[in-house]
Amino acid sequence: MNHSLKPWNTFGIQQNANQIVRADSAQQLLDAWQSAAEKDEPVLILGEGSNVLFLDDFAGTVIVNRIMGIAVEERADSWHLHVGAGENWHRLVQFTLEKGMPGLENLALIPGCAGSSPIQNIGAYGIELKHVCEYVDCIELATGSAQRLTAEQCRFGYRDSIFKHEYQDRYVIVAVGLRLAKQWNPVLTYGDLARLDPATVTPSEVFDSVCHMRMTKLPDPKVNGNAGSFFKNPVISGEDAKAFLAGWPSAPHYPQADGSVKLAAGWLIDRCDLKGTAVGGAAVHRQQALVLINQHDATSQDVVQLAHYVRQRVGEKFNVWLEPEVRFIGCKGEVNAVETIT
C-alpha cells in the first residue's frame, strides 16, 4: 500500500492505493479490472481525480482511464464528435473552437476528463452535457461486452445520471458522442455573459468570458488543492421556494421546468459569513464560497469536518440542507457523501 494517490486527485490529499494502473485502451482497462476482480480486490476507475475526496487508503487497484482520440464527422446541420474517455475536457473545448465548431464554450475550464462528464452531467453557465450529448459508449466490466447508451438512456439529471446508480460499478465509460449544431445559439443567461450582446457575440468571446469568470473566482488546484464546486446547488419545491424567498427576496433563484426552484449554494454559504473559515488544513475559499480548498496539508478528515460545519450552518439559517457534489471514496469504493458529513 505504498502507491501515492496524491498526484491523482486535485484536492492533493495524501492517501495510498495497493496498485495504480494506467490504461491506454479499453482492453488494458478490462484486463486490469478483471485481474483485480479475480483477487477479490476493490477497483476504482479514475479520470483526472478532479471530483473525488479520498477518505482512506484505497485497499485495491486504481485504474487511470487514458483512452484517447477525437474523431469528427460533419453533416449538413451538425458536427458529430466521438471522444475518448481519457481526453482532457478543457482541451476538447479548445479543440472544437479552433476547428470552428461552437457549442461547448460555456463548459470551458471544467476540470476532468471527457469520460467523467456524463457521470455528473457536468454543467456551467446555463449549459449541461445533456444538451450536447448524443451517446455514451461503455463496457460491462465483468463480461467485456460493449454497449452504446443514447442520451435519453443515460437518464441525465442535475449532476446525475444512470452512471451514479445501476451502472455505477458494473460499467466503465470508454467514449462520449457529442452533437454540435451548426446553427449556434449563444447561452448568455449567467454572470458576466449577460453583458454580452447576443446579436454580435462570437463563440470565442463567450469562451474568454467563461475562462475569465472561472479564473478570477476559482482557485488553481496547483496552488490550493480543490475539487471545484464542493456542494450541489440545492433544488427545492416550489412551495418551499415561496417561503424561502419571502424571507430572502434578493436570493438568486432559478425556476425549473418541473416547478421546483434551484438556489445558489455559494450565496447561501456566503450569507453565513463562512468565507475563509478553516478546519485544520482545509478552508472555505475566500473568493468563491462554494469551493473548499486544501490550504495547508489538509487531511480528508479536515475536509469532512469543514463540510459538516458548512452544511450545519446553512441548514440552521435557511432550512436548506446542502449535499456534496464531490464523490467520497472510502477504502473499498464510493460511500454516501451526505451520510459522511452529517
Residues with a catalytic annotation lie at 159, 229, 325
Gyration radius of the chain over CA positions: 20
Cα dihedral angle (52, 53, 59, 65), rounded to 10 degrees? 20
Instruction: Tell me how far apart the terminal alpha carbons of the chain are, to the nearest angstrom.
Output: 29
Angstrom distance (rounded) from CA 200 to CA 188: 12
Cα angle 161, 251, 189 (rounded to 5 degrees) comes to 60
- Among 339, 318, 321, 317, which residue's Cα sits nearest to residue 330? 339
CB 177 within 8 A of CB 80: yes
Buried b / exposed e along 266-295 (16+ C-beta atoms within 10 A): bbbbbbbebeebebebbbbbeebbbbbbbb
- In the block, cell 477479490 appears at 40
- Among 321, 146, 316, 109, which residue's Cα sits nearest to residue 229? 109
